[in-house]
Amino acid sequence: MGKASQGGPRRTTSFVMAAIALAIGVFAARANAAVAAETGFVLNTFSFLIWGALVMWMCAGFTMLEAGSVRTKNASVICLKNIGLYSIAGLAYYVIGYNLMYTDVGSLIGTITPFYGSTPDEIALLNGDEAAAAKVVEAGSYSTMSDWFFQMVFVATAASIVSGTLAERVRLWSFFAFVLVLTAVIYPVVGAWTWGGGWLSQMGFKDFAGSTIVHSTGGWAALAGVVVVGARLGKFRRDGTVKTTPPSNVPAVTLGVFILWLGWFGFNGGSQLALAGALDAVAMSNVLVNTNLAAGAGVMAAMSVSRPLLGRVDLLAVLNGAIAGLVSITAGPDVIDHYWAIVIGAVGGVVCTAGIRMMESLKLDDVVGAIPAHLFAGVWGTLAVCIASGGDILTQLVGVLAVGAFVFSSSWLVWKAIDMMFGVRISHTAEEMGQDISELGIEAYPEFVVVPDQDDIDELRALDEER
């Protein structure tokens, strides 16, 4: 009986081991074979949806970063601006933006046909026609609306850059009006030139995930807004010195940067645009690693140069160094030699920190440092493609200059038009009270007692005397 009871487990163990070996053999054979067309279709579609959702979560990161960077009296408006801009971006890109960017693009722009939707074969499949599945798979490698969703969250990111730059003094509805034009027309035109197959794409312009197409576009639009709207009251004193405006919630700002860092894996990883084979899996893995390395290098570089450039180890500069590293690598995260990601990210951190100092010297008020982090680092990242990702320096320069000239000039005209029609800036009284009370009637931190800033009071009195 003892021997019989021992033999049973041994036979069972042998059977399990044989089954495992067989399963490994089957899966190995399948791994070496090409992925079936429908399986590839499902994997690619699922990849778009998951990465797109992760990029959408970056909106939460921008909200936390901006709400923590402004004074408490403006935090509620920041929250409304960010959920509003995401909603406007989605609607505008659905109604007209995607078609301008991707549908029947010639050299400059796609079609002005409104709305975008599933193909007739996809609709037939949804209506129960199982035979349409083969046609859907044959027509493309992913579902139509999964691609739309992934592209849409990118345009929302570009709009978020403008929000943080102009915080605390731009009128809510004027900002929303600009976001509508940016997401419906300006951004799609840039996208048509590049990802849509337009003239820059035909020249060989390279921008893997949008250092220029997304981040510099948002940065140029924000810079035009700064020029038109002007600086916050008292930010630059009459004697030429800069008034420090520390963030109201440092943990929220830091959390926002970590959320953005996480979302960037979807931003860059999803831009592989496929996950249907070993090549895509390996390439996507490299992209994510390079993204992470560049961000870390940006942090350390910004930390190293912040004291000589800014006079202190500046936490906000360090946090922006992470964003700058991420922006810098976004144009070429597919670089194979990973050490180049460290170099590119580190230079991005230095460029951003120096850019913060330059913005102050030019008396351009950027509340969150978005222009140095997204525009300056975006330009650097686009040119850095020439180092290790096969870009041509002349073509990359043409792309940077063309996008910059178009976005800045068109954004400036839109800001000026809005200013003439509605006004872009809140009143001095509203700015002193805070937008939460003046525009929303709700405070983010109602239990706090707001103490008037003496510099702001002096500035208001000086303005009154000039009148």
Domain ranges of the chain: 37-440
Token pair, residue 323, equals 């964003």
- Could you tell me which CATH number the domain at 37-440 has? 1.10.3430.10
Q: Residue 442 — pLDDT band, cuts 50, 70, 90?
A: confident
pLDDT given at position 245: 86
- The band of 443, judged by pLDDT with boundaries at 50, 70 and 90, is confident
Say whether pLDDT at 86 is over 70: yes
| Other residues' Cβ atoms within 10 Å of the Cβ of residue 204 | 13
Given this model, what pLDDT does residue 30 score? 44
Q: How many other C-beta atoms can be found within 10 angstroms of the C-beta atom of residue 145?
A: 18
β-bridge mates for residue 425, sequence order: 170
Position 137 scores a pLDDT of 93
Residue 246's pLDDT is: 86
pLDDT score, position 134: 92
How confident is the model over 231-272, as pLDDT tens digits? 999 899 887 788 888 899 999 999 999 999 999 999 999 999
Q: How does the average pLDDT of the chain come out, rounded?
A: 90
Torsion 162-163-165-170 (CA) sign: positive
Half-sphere exposure of 61 (CA within 13 A, CB side): 20
Q: Which residue has the higher pLDDT, 56 or 6?
A: 56
CB 331 within 8 A of CB 381: yes
Banded pLDDT at 418 (limits 50, 70, 90): very high
In this model, does residue 390 exceed pLDDT 70?
yes
> What's residue 456's pLDDT?
63
> Contact at 8 Å (CB) between 182 and 357?
no
pLDDT tens digit sequence for 132-166: 999 999 988 999 999 999 999 999 999 999 999 99
Q: Which residues contact 257 (CB under 8 A, 6 or more apart)?
A: 61, 65, 319, 322, 323
In this predicted model, which residue has the larger pLDDT, 375 or 106? 375
Claim: this prediction has a pTM higher than 0.85: yes
